[in-house]
Amino acid sequence: MADQGAAAEIAAGYATEAGALELGAVVIDGVAVPEAHVRIPFATLNRHGLVAGATGTGKTKTLQNLAEQCSAAGVPVLLADIKGDLSGLAREGETSDRVTQRAHETGDDWAPTAYPVQFLSLGQGIGVPVRATITGFGPILLSKVLGLNETQESTLGLIFHWADGQGLALLDTKDLRSVIQYLISDEGKAELKGIGGVSASTAGVILRALVNLEARGGDEFFGEPEFDPEDLLVVEPDGPFQGRGRVTLLELADQQADPTLYSTFLMWLLAELFEELPEAGDVEKPKLVFFFDEAHLLFNDASKAFLDRIEQTVKLIRSKGVGVFFCTQQPTDVPNDVLSQLGARVQHALRAFTPDDQKALTKTARTYPKSAVYDIEELLTTLGTGEALVTVLSERGAPTPVAWTRVRAPRSLMTAIGEPAVTEAAQGSPLWPKYGTPIDRESAHEKLAARTGATSAPGTPPAEPVPPQQAPQEAPPQAPPPAEDEGPGMVEKAMANPAVKSFVRSLASQLGREITRGLFGTARRRR
């Protein structure tokens, strides 16, 4: 028999006066107490959160549960559907003995429910195709996608700077490829030298990385029309889902070969939203909740500049009314500077098969508030499927007691609806006329071809004229004066000096802001 007094004491820490997301019921000694509810106040969702746990512990169903309740409360949601099974959000769930039992254990008046869903894909896929321009991504984000080191990232920033100064719009991969090929050609050698002594060998490394990205399908993602993040902020105005927040699923079955592109695209969306949205301050519920699934992909092998921008974005986006949940297997996948800013933690079971696993388990246990009810380190390895250790920020902004929680069952379908159904829904979406057909207007590729007297590559469609309002923005300050010595790789030689290395990194970051307003200014320029 569960200790009702202990359960009631824990549940008291989760009591709310305003709206809250019902996560599940408190568990004591393995028995759920249906009357002891574990909640996340909607007003604290923009303080961000973490959903973590080993494979097969129920993370995906927790995400589905969170997305459903956000939508029902009129809060739009973005999730990455990596395994394809979140598409069931669009259909009513099916009752079963397990669902009925879970509803009884958690005190949930479960009823089958469908939610408004729109399906997106990066470039060509089964959802509405979404794209971003090379210029819109900027050198720091693009460097992450290309797998460049810090020296190469600095070089890419200088190449962006040169293209912008020449009025060469970088819209798709062939634009950047044409710019790099021109700069390392005999005709462009002098100009390559003039942008800071960048070596042809470093430019060649970037070019090869770009060609590899094209081979992985990057040429289908980078281009126009560029996706407008405001299309995520939809509350259904009428129909059967009136008043519900739209759930946007990024279908990634076709993009699993290049997961870094997906995670970096989500970071770009978040940065765009930061520029688009006005300051909101304290809100009763967020304008949008972002779920970063497989969050470790975002942080793996990331440069310091990239990590600094993530930390800055997470810190500042809360004031715009946007909540961000990072989803991963180990909490240690998320850098400490980011982890410290996450107000809600939903930790499913961890595995401790290796010494590294045991070390991560101990670190995780130490980050929880002390509990007189649970042995946290032991419990983290014995939680059942669909159970989690939870602590969130209360309405007062204080951490709640640690709660062993049995999570509610999702009300929508807990399996995939199939690719034909997703494709049909995508092609019937109001976003399809806006993004379904790619555009290839005049940009760097065509202008450089005209300058050198070359013809367009076979199969390249004729360029469309650039509308005046879409012409590249005014040129930033002129590039540094030409280097005196043509020697091999002046940047690489100088990078051995720590002071110069710091200066170049700072310069590259500044150039990123001038060309694309850093991670935050692309949407403003687009409009």
Residue 371 has pLDDT above 80, yes or no: yes
Give the tens place of pLDDT for each residue, 279-314: 987 889 999 999 988 888 888 877 787 888 888 888
The mean pLDDT value for 444-452 works out to 89
Residue 197 — pLDDT band, cuts 50, 70, 90?
Answer: low
3-state SS, residue 235: strand
Q: Is there a cis peptide before residue 355, judged by omega within 30 degrees of 0? A: no
**pTM, to two decimals:** 0.83
For 398-434, b/e burial (b = at least 16 CB within 10 A) is: eebbbbbbbbbbbbbbbebbebeebbebbeebebbee
How many helices and strands in the chain, by DSSP H and E?
Answer: 21, 12
Dist CA 108 CA 24 (whole Å): 8
The mean pLDDT value for 157-170 works out to 90
CATH topology of domain 4-129+239-273+289-298+313-433: Rossmann fold (3.40.50)
Residue 473 — pLDDT band, cuts 50, 70, 90?
Answer: very low
Dist CA 344 CA 383 (whole Å): 18
Residue 480 has pLDDT above 50, yes or no: no
Worst-scoring range by mean pLDDT, 107-111, 129-133, 256-260?
A: 256-260
Dist CA 392 CA 405 (whole Å): 12
For the chain, the structural domain boundaries read: 4-129+239-273+289-298+313-433, 134-223+467-526
For 286-303, b/e burial (b = at least 16 CB within 10 A) is: bbbbbbbbbbbbbbeebb
Q: Residue 340: its pLDDT value, please?
A: 87
Helix, strand, coil share of the chain (percent; to 5): 45, 15, 40
Dist CA 251 CA 88 (whole Å): 12
Worst-scoring range by mean pLDDT, 253-257, 297-301, 485-489?
A: 485-489
Dist CA 91 CA 479 (whole Å): 55
- Identify the residue whose tokens are 């695209």: 265
Residue 175 has pLDDT above 60, yes or no: yes
Task: Estimate to the nearest angstrom the gap between the alpha carbon of 111 and the chain centroid.
Answer: 31
Instruction: Check if the beta carbon of residue 338 is closer than 8 Å to that of residue 311.
Output: yes
The mean pLDDT value for 6-26 works out to 94
Q: Residue 254: its pLDDT value, please?
A: 57
Q: Which amino acid is at 88?
A: G
Q: Residue 496: its pLDDT value, please?
A: 52
Residue 485 has pLDDT above 60, yes or no: no
Residue 211 has pLDDT above 60, yes or no: yes
Give me the chain's average pLDDT, please.
84
Residue 460 has pLDDT above 80, yes or no: no
Which stretch, 75-79, 135-139, 519-523, has highest mean pLDDT?
A: 75-79
Phi, psi of 464 (to 5 degrees): -90, 145
Q: Residue 253: its pLDDT value, please?
A: 63
Q: Residue 526: its pLDDT value, please?
A: 46
User: DSSP string covering 469-500, please?
Assistant: GGSPPPP-SPPPPPPS---S-HHHHHTTSHHH
The mean pLDDT value for 30-55 works out to 94
Instruction: Check if the beta carbon of residue 141 is closer than 8 Å to that of residue 208.
Output: no
β-strand pairing of 20-28 with 403-407:
antiparallel
Q: Residue 237: its pLDDT value, please?
A: 94
Instruction: Check if the beta carbon of residue 93 is closer than 8 Å to that of residue 417.
Output: no
Q: Residue 298: its pLDDT value, please?
A: 81
